[in-house]
Structures are given as structure tokens and as C-alpha cells.
Structure 1
Amino acid sequence: MWGWSAALRGAILAVPAVLVATRDVQLAAVLAIGVIPAACVPLPATRRARLRPAVLGALAAASLFVGSVLAESPPLAVVGIFVFAVVASRAAVGRPLGAVALSLCLPLVGVGLSLSSIAVGATLAAVVLGGSVYAFLVSQLWPSRPSSGTPASLASPGAASLRSFGYRAGLAGAICAGTGFALGLEHVGWATGAALLVMRPAPAVQQARSVGRIVDVVLGAALSIGLVTSGAPAGVVAAALGIAVICATATAGSRWYVVPAFTTFIVFVLLLSHAPDQAQERFWERVLETGFGIAVAALVGYWTLPRVRRPSSRRAG
């Protein structure tokens, strides 16, 4: 689903990154990343309700920072991811904020494990927080409209299912993080984040997100590599970053899982703008680590699900 009003909002959100890109592509990519968490939330009907995406952006910023702190101690990171998942799954039972912690904060803590230092984590968190505030101010340009009521949604998983999912998500995140640290991977958060971003209590939803994510990552990385290695002028790179932000905003309400293509594109522009010779290495690094994370999520999710449910089935019999 494409929204033209959302695309216009995305164009305004992209202005800082586009203006900076002609002088500093890396900084422009960071600014583009900063608005993505808030931009990826469909615009609420009322101006007051539009504070919600900004709050989600602030939570995203805090989660990335927490990940960078945990990354300083690999054992703490592995245990922390597991504990966070279990606690968040219990908090998610009947609590919207708990559900946000499980579906948004937990994966972004995993992504934060890729950040090279606490200082980098604090800087990125500050940029995301600033981008969220900017997105909130931009959202106020749109008039309030009548609310269509509570949007239809799928039934929430039961308490037992959520708690079981917390253990499975925690195990998947811990395996990916532990493997990444043990192998000395530069971006431990790529596999960890991929696993936690695709995992869902419903197997069919997880399968769809898994397929969508690997396709998005390949497509976004390939397009970014093509742009950077072609020696495109700064104006073209600026326009491409702007288009990525616009597309991420305009498709925020889509039933298709396409946002990772745009975020991957932006991240690869950030990584390769000063090192285009690393394009092939970065591509395979990202694709293989994403694939590993998705595979771990599938194995942990599908392999443990019958074992989690089996005791209750015996009691029922």
C-alpha cells in the first residue's frame, strides 16, 4: 500500500539528510536513519495522538543505546538479550507498552550490539531521538481528521503463548549474539537483529517476515552497492537517500514487509560511502548473517514450539 500524503511527509522528513548529503554522505545517511523509526509509523488521525510515533522513536533510541552498552561485555550481552526477551514477553500480556518492548525494543537492543562503542551508541541514540522530535513537528503540519475507530487487528496471543515466545525469542537472540561474539564478527547485531525482527508467536507470520526480510536485504544492499560503486555524484546520492526515506514512510501501512529494503539501502550507503572497495565483502557479510539469524529463529521457533506445547497437551488428555 502506497500513501501519497505519507510520501509527502517522507519528503519533508528527508530534507535534512538530502541537504547534508552534498557535503557529507555518511552524516546524511545517519540523519536518514534518525527519522526512520518515527517515519515508519502510519500517521495517527489526531495531532495529539501523533506524539505516539515520537515516543516509539525515543524507545528505539534508548534500545539502540542499551545494545551498545551490553556489547561492551559479551557474556552480559548474551544473558541480557535472553532476560530482556523473557521479561518483555511477560510484560506484553495485556500491556501495550510491553508488546512494544517485545516487538520493537528487543530487536533494536539486538541491533545495538553492532555499535562499536557506548559513545557511538549514545550519538546514534541522540540522532534518532532528534529525528523523532522532528518527525513529530512535521506531523503537526497535517490537520486532524475524524478517527475511523479502533483499527481491526488479529487476536492477541494468550498469556501462555506470549511467555513461551519470550523464551524462544530470548534463546534465538542469545544464540545469535553468542555466535557473533565467539566468531569475532564485526556486526554482531546483524544476525541478532534479524532473528528478533522476524520472530513472531504465529509461525505463518514469522515465515512471511523471514522471506520478506532476506529479499529486502539482498535488494537494498545490491541497489546501494550499485549506486556507491558507480561513482555517482553527491546530488544523485542525496536524491537516492531522500527517495529511500520517502518510500519507507509511504509504505509504512503496507501489509508487505518492505521497510528493511530501504533501511538496508541507507545503512549500506553509510558503510560504503568512504570504502566502496568493501562492497562485495559487506554484501556477503550482511546477507549471510541475516540468513543465519533467520535460520536460528526458524529452528528455535519451529523446533521448540511442539515441545513447549506438549506438556499442556498431555494434561489436557
Structure 2
Amino acid sequence: MVTTAPAPAPPAIRWDGASALRGLLLGLPAAAMAAHDVQPAALLAVGVIPAAILPLAARRRGRVRAAVVGYLAGISIVLGSALAVWPPLAVAGIFVIAVVAGRVAADRPAGALVLSLCLPLMGAGLSYSGVENSWDLGLALVAGSTWALLLSMCWPEHAPSEALAAPQGPPPAVMVRFGYLAGTTGALCAAIGFGLDLEHVGWPVIAGLIVMRPVPAVQRMRSVDRIADVVLGALLAIALVATGAPGWVFGAAIAVVIVAATATAASRWYLTPAYTTFLVFVMLLANDPDDARSRFWERVLETALGIGVAAVVVFAIAPLITRLRRPPT
């Protein structure tokens, strides 16, 4: 009997030189802006990240779809800020949207996109109570995705790679169940955030929702990676801000971060939070470096809160409900 050796696991950190060049071009506008004003430059760099971490589609039509993902990210944050005006609506809205998305995901990929991207970013939008407080971030995501789309059209089309083929999704029943779990996690995190009057209600919400996946083992890995990434990204940003470096140094750092985000997007490790946290902390501290200590602990503790709530829901509450619903034998 002939046995086939299992495929080797992908590298923990994979560097793609061709993608690095695209990342450099993606980051040029933000890097150039940093020479004049660091804060909006970091905001623009955040807007580029959704496009940076997506692989370049083989066909130009697919690249348009990738830009739509960035537009949805911006819309989701603005929608979350609209919900945040009335906390009960925000808590209920996160839960209902997750449940509906889980049912849609049982049949259509759009539901899975809502659960994995739109819902966490709606949660992030809860940090901005009112559309007037979130429109600039939403606009940055739209601008970054548009720049990425225009840039991607300069690359020639190529044959699709089998490695990038869409994997088979979980069974419909799993996605429906996952919608309820995600909704419960998001609602609990939002309720805790509003109840404790956190400055950034959305930080625990996005932390809890973004690590969740229908496969528990993947959630465990993403949870560990995210907390480590947040600490690393925050410390690097604080170290840079503490130097009092000129704007061009911040511009170079922003360019390096976007290059790294693009080139390492296919890594097995979940690295994106390190890049986004670095950029967010540069944005928050560029004009207020004395807030570094409080911002660091705020970010770390609220991230841990969201990840902890997600873990309790998935690994404690959900199994308990399953056992209670199981008919006696």
C-alpha cells in the first residue's frame, strides 16, 4: 500500500518579493504625506492595509472585486459609528447582523465576508459615536482601496494559481452556528464596553470578532498571534514616537510597514494586527506622545478582553449549551 506524505506546512513567515514591490508603491502616498503631517499620513496608511493584505488577483476583474472589499471595510466602520449613537441599538445590531450573516453564509460567500470582515469593522466603528467622527477613517479606506485598484491595473494579467483557489467552506450548519457565536461575542463585548464607558468601545469588539473562525483551532492560533502582534506593534510605534524623529523618518517607517504587510500576507502566522496597531499608535501619539503609557495598556487590556470573551463563548458557553440540548440516552 502506497501512502502519500502529508503536504508540508506553509512557513510561519513567508516573504514575497514581488508583492513587496507592490507594497512599496501602495505606501508611497502616505510616506510622502508624513513629511508634512504624520497623523493624516498614518490614517491614509491604515486605509491601504485591506488592499495590501489581499493577493493580487490574476484577472483585472478580480482586482475590482478586491477594491470592493476595501470599500465595504470603510462603509462598515461608518455603519458601526452610526449604531454607536444609541448603545442598545449597537449591541442588538451587532448580534442581529451576525446571525443573519451566518444564515446567508450557509449558502453564499457574501455572508462569510460579512462575518470575517464587515462585522469586526462595524465593531471597530463603535469607538466613534456618530458618523461625523468616523467619516475620515471610512474615507481613508475608500481612498486606499481606490489607489490600490488603480495601481493593480498596471500589473499584467496572469494565469490563476491553484494555490490561491478558494478552499471548501464549512458545512452550512456550522456557519449558522458560527453566526450565533459571533453575534453573542460582539454583543457581549459591546455591552461591556458601553457599560464600563471605555474610550474605545470598539477595541474589544473587533479583537473578539476578528480572531473568531468556525474552526476552533484556528481561533486559538489567531488569539495568541493577535495579542502578541498588538504588543509588538504598539511598542515599536511608541519607541519611534519617543525619539521625536522628523516626518521623513515616520514616512520611511510607514512605507516599511506597508511593504511588510503586503509581502508577508501569505504567512501562516497572523501578522496583520502588528502592522495595523503600529499605524494606529503612530496616528494616536504623533501629536500626543505623553499618552503612550495609557494608550498601550488601554489597547492591550481591551484586546485581551475581546479575545477572552470570544474564548469563553466558543470554548465554554457553546459546548455547555450543546450538552444541555443533547437528548438523554
For normalisation by structure 2, the TM-score amounts to 0.92
Query: Residue 74 of structure 1 aligns with which residue?
Result: 87
Paired amino acid for 2:218: V
Tell me, in whole angstroms, the C-alpha distance in 1 between the residues paired with 2:163 and 2:30. Answer: 34
Q: Percent identity?
A: 54
Tell me, in whole angstroms, the C-alpha distance in 2 between the residues paired with 1:230 and 1:99. Answer: 42
Cα deviation, residue 227, structure 1: 0.3
Matched, 1:52 2:43: no
Matched, 1:278 2:291: yes
* Equivalent residues of 2:30, 2:45 under 8 A apart: yes
Tell me, in whole angstroms, the C-alpha distance in 2 between the residues paired with 1:37 and 1:314. Answer: 45
For normalisation by structure 1, the TM-score amounts to 0.96
Query: Residue 201 of structure 1 aligns with which residue?
Result: 214
Cα deviation, residue 116, structure 1: 4.4
Tell me, in whole angstroms, the C-alpha distance in 2 between the residues paired with 1:150 and 1:235. Answer: 38
Cα deviation, residue 51, structure 1: 1.0
Q: Secondary structure at the match of 2:112?
A: helix
Cα deviation, residue 304, structure 1: 2.4
Query: Residue 23 of structure 1 aligns with which residue?
Result: 36
Tell me, in whole angstroms, the C-alpha distance in 2 between the residues paired with 1:27 and 1:243. Answer: 17
Paired amino acid for 1:77: A
Q: Secondary structure at the match of 1:314?
A: coil
Deviations 1:10-59 (A, max 9, x none): 11111111111011100101110111111110111122211121010011
Cα deviation, residue 233, structure 1: 1.6
Query: Residue 186 of structure 1 aligns with which residue?
Result: 199
Tell me, in whole angstroms, the C-alpha distance in 2 between the residues paired with 1:211 and 1:9. Answer: 29
Query: Residue 267 of structure 1 aligns with which residue?
Result: 280
Match of 2:45 among 24, 32, 49: 32
Change (3 A) 1:311 1:185: closer
Tell me, in whole angstroms, the C-alpha distance in 2 between the residues paired with 1:3 and 1:151. Answer: 14
Q: Secondary structure at the match of 1:294?
A: helix
Matched, 1:156 2:182: no
After superposition, residues 17-166 of structure 1 pair within 5 angstroms as 17-149=30-162, 151=164, 154-166=167-179
Paired amino acid for 1:198: V
* Equivalent residues of 1:164, 1:308 under 8 A apart: no
Tell me, in whole angstroms, the C-alpha distance in 2 between the residues paired with 1:177 and 1:101. Answer: 18
Cα deviation, residue 256, structure 1: 1.3
Aligned Cα root-mean-square deviation (Å)? 1.5
Query: Residue 216 of structure 1 aligns with which residue?
Result: 229
Match of 1:173 among 162, 186, 193: 186
Paired amino acid for 1:231: G
Tell me, in whole angstroms, the C-alpha distance in 1 between the residues paired with 2:323 and 2:93. Answer: 28
Q: Paired residues, what number?
A: 316
**Structure 1 residues without counterparts, runs of 5 or longer:** none
* Equivalent residues of 2:82, 2:129 under 8 A apart: no
Cα deviation, residue 91, structure 1: 0.8
* Equivalent residues of 1:168, 1:304 under 8 A apart: no
Cα deviation, residue 309, structure 1: 3.4
Tell me, in whole angstroms, the C-alpha distance in 1 between the residues paired with 2:40 and 2:48. Answer: 13
Deviations 1:174-232 (A, max 9, x none): 11111111111110010000000001111100000000000000000000000001211
* Equivalent residues of 2:124, 2:205 under 8 A apart: yes
